[in-house]
Amino acid sequence: MGRGAKYFTQVERTEATRNKKKAHVDTEHAKVIRRAQNQRAYEKRKQNSKAYLVAPLPNIPRPLRVMSQSMFPIMKTSPLFQQEFRRREEITQDDHLAHWDNSPPYHSSSLSTTYGMSGFLELIQGRRLRAQYQYEELRLVRYKTASEQVFLQEINAEIAKWVLEWSELNKLLKTARFVDVDCKLGRSLLDWKARRVMDLLADWKAFSKYQPVFPKFHALHRNAIWKYYK
């Protein structure tokens, strides 16, 4: 290097560059730029991590929403409801009330003759609420083992399934001619499906907006059902 060289060694050049950068970092202008860069990076990460949470939900018919808000029969004091709700064995498709989770027409049942229509509906509602409780237990386990994206997709698929089943049953009850018993049982099933859709929708919203607290929200929702009827 000549006499006019600013730095005589590479070490001096490196040290000078480091000091210059350090001085620049501490300026107000550099802080503003750095905050803007950090904000852009945060928004990009947030968008990428939540991209799968904006999966479109199926259209939920307004009549379904209205029906889900109808008064649920309070059967806490019903012996028949409690009899079915408190059964401890796992619900399967082969149990004695599984047939009435399908759409009408239904075959005649000695239970409806024995207990009357109101008592028979109490048995069915007890089974359905027990099934929901067992289902909620399994979903909490599933939440802990499945990835976030897979779990959300499963909720989405469940909502679509229940909406489709509700729509098909609603159309069937409006167009087909059934005996009075089938109409009452079919209507009870339709009400139940509407409530399940809205329960799942609440889960979906809780998961997508408040993802870290979803298990707690879900457990409280499930336990509230259990304790109320216990």
Q: What angle do CA 78, 81, 87 make, to 5 degrees?
A: 135
For the chain, the residue count is 230
Chain-centroid distance, C-alpha 139: 9
Q: What was the pLDDT predicted at 3?
A: 53
Task: Answer for the pair 185, 129: CB distance below 8 angstroms, yes or no.
Answer: no
Task: Answer for the pair 7, 16: CB distance below 8 angstroms, yes or no.
Answer: yes
Return the residue matching tokens 């237990």.
Answer: 137
Q: What was the pLDDT predicted at 75?
A: 67
Q: What was the pLDDT predicted at 164?
A: 96
Joined tokens for residue 59: 């259209």
Q: What was the pLDDT predicted at 94?
A: 62
Q: What was the pLDDT predicted at 219?
A: 56
Q: What was the pLDDT predicted at 160?
A: 93
Instruction: Centre a 10 Å sphere on the Cβ of residue 184 and count the other Cβ atoms it contains.
Output: 17
Give CA–CA dist 193/159, Å, rounded.
10
Of the candidates 135, 61, 78, the one whose C-alpha atom is nearest the C-alpha of residue 101 is 135
Residues 6 or more apart from 131 whose CB is under 8 A from it? 91
**Ranges in the chain, pLDDT < 70:** 1-8, 45-55, 72-76, 91-94, 108-113, 209-230
Q: What was the pLDDT predicted at 39?
A: 82
Task: Answer for the pair 91, 132: CB distance below 8 angstroms, yes or no.
Answer: no
Hey, what amino acid is at 26?
Answer: D
Q: What was the pLDDT predicted at 61?
A: 94
Task: Answer for the pair 111, 121: CB distance below 8 angstroms, yes or no.
Answer: no
pTM: 0.68
Does residue 105 have a cis peptide bond before it, meaning omega lies within 30 degrees of 0?
Answer: yes
